[in-house]
Amino acid sequence: MIRPAKDVNVVRDLAKRYAEIAAGDIQEERRRLWRMKNSMKSCRPLVLATYGMWNVWCREVFGDHAMECEDPFWRDWERRLKLLLFHDEIGDDFILEPWLDVDASYFRPEGGVWGISQKHVGPGVEGGAFRWEAPIKDLRDLSAMVRPEHRVNEEDTARRAERLRDAVGEIIDVNVNRWPSLYSWNADISTDLARLRGLEQVMIDMIDDPEGLHGLAAFMRDAVLAVHEQAEEAGDFTLTTQRNQAMCYSEEHEDMRPNSKPRPRKDLWYFCAAQEFTLVSPAMHDEFLLQYQLPIMEKYGLTAYGCCEDLTRKIDMLRKVPNLRRIGVTPVADIANCAAQIGTDYVISWRPNPTDMVCGRFDPERVRRIIGHGLRVSKGCHIDITLKDIETVEGEPERLKKWVQIVRDVADEID
C-alpha cells in the first residue's frame, strides 16, 4: 500500500508516544479504581474531564489548521492521537488503552437509519442554531419508515483498519469495533423520537394521541432489539463494544481488551438516556419511554442511565431497571436530593455545570465551593465526577488540568 511518507511518520511518532503512556502502571491503577467504583466498593471520588461535542475550543486547538497531515485519513488519526495525548496531560482518571479503535462502516437505508430524511433549516453560520423539520407528520402512517438491519460494510471496514495497521501495527494494536448499527443515541428511542416527530409534538401526542405515540415507540423498540440480536448472532459484540459514559470496568465483567472473541450482551455494559424527556413527568416518562427502553437494557449485564436530563424526580422510576448500576446527575439536577434518594444503591455520575467550572471566568474558589458542596451532600455515596460538554475554555486549555487538581484536593479534604 502506498503511504504518504510525511503523514504516516507524523502518525507513527504520535502512536509511539501514546503506546508508551498507555503501557504505564498508572493505567492499571485506574482500571483497579474503576472496577471498585463500578462495583460499588469504597474508593475515592474518581474524576473525568471529557470534551463532549466537537466544540469551539477543540476546533481552535485541534482543528485542521493545527494539523500537519494533509491526507484526511491521516489527519483524523493525528487529531485523535493528539487529543488522547492532551488528555494524558490533564491527569484525570481517564484510561488510555493500549490499542487504537477503528469503528466499522455500515450499509444504511437511504434517508438515514430509519429511512426517512430529516431536514435542518440552519443559519448558515458554523456553530449556529438550526430548526429541525420533523418528517413524521401522521402517527397513523409509518409506511415510510424502514426496519434497520445490522449490515457491516466489510470491504470499507477492512480497508480502513488495514491502512492504519499497515502504518502502526507493530507499535500498537488496532482494534475493530463492530457496534450494532443502531446504538447509543439512535438506540435510546428518546433521541430519534424527538427527531422524527418533533420534541413539542411528542409532548402533545402524549395527551392528544397516546395510542399513536405508543405505536411509534414500539416500532423503534422492536427495531433496536432486532438489530442488537442480529449483531450478537453475527459475533459482533466484543469486550470493546460497550459504553457507560465513564470507564467500562467492574469486578463483575471481564476487562476490556482489543479484538476479543464475541461476547453475549449479558456480559457487557449498556448506556441509555432520555434527554428529550427531562420536562416530562415521571409517570409519562415511564409510560412513553422507559417501558420501551427496559426490554433493550435488560439484555445487557450492567446499565448506565442518564446524560444531560434532570432525573431528580425519577430515581424511584429508574429502580425498575433491574441491571441499573450508574445514574447521571446533571448540572440542572439537585445533587443533594439525588444523593439522598440514591444512597449506596447505585453509582452517582455527577456532572457539575461546565460554565461554573471552566467555561466562564475561571474562578478556583468558585470551583472549590461548588465541588465541596456536592461532595459533602453526597458523602457516603459511590460517586464520580465528570466535567463534560465543554464549549470553551476561553483560550486556556490548562484550566482542565487545574480543575482536576482542585477537585482532587477538595475530595481529599472532605474524605
Helix H, strand E, coil C: the string for 78-131 is HHHHHHHHHHHHHCCCCCCCCEEEEECCECCCCCCCCCCCCEEECCCCCCCCCE
- Beta bridge partners, 324, equal 303
- Beta bridge partners, 302, equal 269
3-state secondary structure of 40: coil
Q: Is the pLDDT of residue 3 over 60?
A: no
Q: Quick one: pLDDT band at residue 210, thresholds 50, 70, 90? A: very high
Of residues 87 and 51, more confidence is placed in 87
Residue-wise pLDDT tens digits, 216-234: 999 999 999 999 999 999 9
Q: Is the pLDDT of residue 273 over 70?
A: yes
The correct answer on CATH 3.20.20.210 for the domain covering 5-414 is yes
- Beta bridge partners, 327, equal 305, 348
3-state secondary structure of 150: coil
CA distance 272 to 306: 6
Q: Is the pLDDT of residue 26 over 90?
A: yes
pLDDT of residue 53: 54
Mean local confidence (pLDDT), 77-97:
95
Residue appearing with cell numbers 459484540:
237
CA distance 346 to 324: 7
Q: Model-level pTM?
A: 0.95
Element (H, E) at 383: strand 382-387
**How is the chain split into domains, by residue range?**
5-414
Mean local confidence (pLDDT), 150-166:
97
Rounded to 5 degrees, what angle do the CA atoms 55, 59, 63 make? Answer: 150
pLDDT above 90 covers a percentage of the chain that reads: 84
Cα dist. 129→53, 250, 309 in Å? Answer: 15, 39, 20
Residue-wise pLDDT tens digits, 301-355: 999 999 999 999 999 999 999 999 999 999 999 999 999 999 999 999 999 999 9
Residue-wise pLDDT tens digits, 179-199: 999 999 999 999 999 999 999
CA distance 304 to 326: 4
Handedness of CA 89, 93, 96, 101 (dihedral sign): negative
Q: Is the pLDDT of residue 413 over 90?
A: yes
